[in-house]
Structure 1
């Protein structure tokens, strides 16, 4: 799941999101995000679902690391 966290970091960087904004978008706890972003924990399935809902066009890329542009699933690199 470490790759999932790394992809979320890419999204935050590309969109200029602070941790507070990430918390607001996902509804997850600040301390939980702090731990995950500092590689102290593993994302739970329900957290991945919340993150996917917060970033609907990136959700496939977040989980699998691949784009499906024909289904509207892209990565931050494709948005530039």
Structure 2
């Protein structure tokens, strides 16, 4: 058995400085401290979520009358 250094990129373990034959079966051991550090740094470096609140424009519902059903609704740009 031999130990290789590697990193996880997009959910795939990439070994650094090692060339193994295709089909090689490997076992990955991750230390608890290393896993905790990776989880924390991943959570801190995550892109911020942008929330957009859609607010109805006041007065749009009162501007249309029952006879306006045939006319198309103007698009907001």
- Return the TM-score normalized by structure 2: 0.21
Higher relative contact order (CA 8 A, sep 6+): 1
Which protein has the larger Cα radius of gyration, Structure 1 or Structure 2? 2
- Larger helix share, 1 or 2: 1
Higher share in strand:
2
